[in-house]
Amino acid sequence: MNLQKIHLIAAARPNFMKIAPLYHALSQERWCRAEIVHTGQHYDYNMSDSFFRDLKLPEADFHLEVGSGSHAEQTGRVMIEYEKIAEHTRPDWVVVAGDVNSTLACALVGTKLCIPVVHLEAGLRSGDRSMPEEINRLATDAIADVLWTPSADADANLLRENVPDYKIDRVGNFMIDSYEMLRDSIDAAKMVERFALVPRGYAVVTLHRPANVDHADSLASLVAQLSIASDSLPMVFAVHPRTRKRLGEFGLLARLEACANIRLTAPLGYIEFMNLVSSAAAVVTDSGGVQEETTYLGIPCLTLRDTTERPITIEEGSNRLVQIHALIDVLGEVMNGRFRTGRRPALWDGKAAQRSVIALKRRANVS
């Protein structure tokens, strides 16, 4: 039997924890060989390599080294570089994850070379087309051949857009697989001690959406509110490189550094970050993945956005959309025990990769 070759596209921080469980599950199979293609969209050690280490991924089989740039530059460079690899190596499947520029770029390349494309984490919609990720989601789902969804609301979004239901496999949430795979190491990391904090006595902050951090006014107001809120609840702020750059450009870094109750840190490794989140009183974020991880852990998540592509984390989980001016009041609810912590959604159980391999085998006619 010829081994089927499967390219797993890894590009940016949130992709690695989605691809890792799939890589490990496919590595157990005898009918296929999984190869990792790193586009290089994220490249700092603590935005990329540290995740390969924590998630026990081997070095990428191919590295496109595209780096940063405008949307067109980045998407275009990934397309140009990945087309060379895909044409030369002719994979049987291309799996793209999430909603970053590399996701759409590689989906376009695969589709035009008539290689079946699988979209891992399909069907999420914020309804906000000013988010670059929403465009990436809509376009990727429109051209992918197989759509792996995390929950029923994602299936409904796709069906509403006339995606035929035979393309959809609801397999669950891969991020939870990574958490479960590393749960022992996460529980053993001593981040609370390292930051001299008290369990449930602090909030974790992570922000990087352009709508929050790319404009001086909105970033200044975020810094001001976090500063006031940290008087009642100490904070650890793991600063994304986009955000660090903007804080510097807008002259806000010194103001943030002067806050006695906010510990600033570089982006943390996955094990370190999840250890800190799991003992936190609350998380303040605009991250997509963190909304899901906090729902799984039942940790109050205050999402500083107007919309979310993950409404199930609000309907069933521990997430709430919060306007920046309401941050202090909502943190008060958390501290008074009045914030709803919800339940875990169906199929967020650590077995998404297992289900997706069964589904793919069926489509590959090898089951």
The residues of the shown chain that bind ligand UD1, judged by CB under 6 A, are 12-14, 41-44, 47, 68, 99-101, 132-133, 208, 240-242, 245
For residue 208, the minimal CB distance to ligand UD1 (Å) is 5
H helix and E strand count, the chain: 18, 13
Single residue of 268, 281, 330, 352 touching ligand UDP by CB under 6 A: 268
Single residue of 6, 8, 9, 17 touching ligand UDP by CB under 6 A: 17
Residue 273 contact partner, candidates ligand UDP, ligand UD1, none, CB within 5 to 8 A by sort of partner: ligand UDP
d(CA 190, CA 222): 29
Residue 242 contact partner, candidates ligand UD1, ligand UDP, none, CB within 5 to 8 A by sort of partner: ligand UD1
Give the max Cα distance, the chain. Answer: 64
- Burial bucket for residue 257 (CB in 10 Å: 0-12, 13-18, 19+): exposed
For residue 101, the minimal CB distance to ligand UD1 (Å) is 4
Q: Is 102 in the site for ligand UDP (CB under 6 A)?
A: no
Site for ligand UDP in 201-260 (CB under 6 A): 206, 238
Sign of CA dihedral 174, 179, 181, 182: positive
For residue 99, the minimal CB distance to ligand UDP (Å) is 7
Q: Which entry of 7, 208, 215, 325 is annotated as an active-site residue?
A: 208
Q: Is 227 helix (H, G, I), strand (E, B) or coil?
A: helix
Sign of CA dihedral 209, 213, 219, 225: positive
Q: Is 122 helix (H, G, I), strand (E, B) or coil?
A: coil
Nearer to ligand UDP, 14 or 91 (CB): 14
Residue 234 contact partner, candidates ligand UDP, ligand UD1, none, CB within 5 to 8 A by sort of partner: none
For residue 74, the minimal CB distance to ligand UD1 (Å) is 6
208 catalytically annotated: yes
Q: Is 267 in the site for ligand UDP (CB under 6 A)?
A: yes
For residue 37, the minimal CB distance to ligand UD1 (Å) is 16
Roughly what angle, to the nearest 10 degrees, separates helices 101-112 and 132-143? 20
Q: Is 81 in the site for ligand UDP (CB under 6 A)?
A: no
Q: Identity (one letter) of the amino acid at 237?
A: F
Q: Which spans in the chain are helix H?
A: 13-27, 49-54, 71-89, 101-112, 132-143, 152-160, 174-181, 183-188, 191-194, 210-213, 216-229, 241-249, 253-257, 270-278, 288-297, 312-315, 327-335, 352-363
As beta bridge partners, residue 38 has 10, 63
Q: Is 274 in the site for ligand UDP (CB under 6 A)?
A: yes
Nearer to ligand UDP, 53 or 338 (CB): 53
**In which residue are the tokens 């001593």 written?**
190
Residues with catalytic annotation? 208
* Chain residues that interact with ligand UDP, rule: CB under 6 A: 13-14, 17, 175, 206, 238, 267-268, 270, 273-274, 287-290, 293
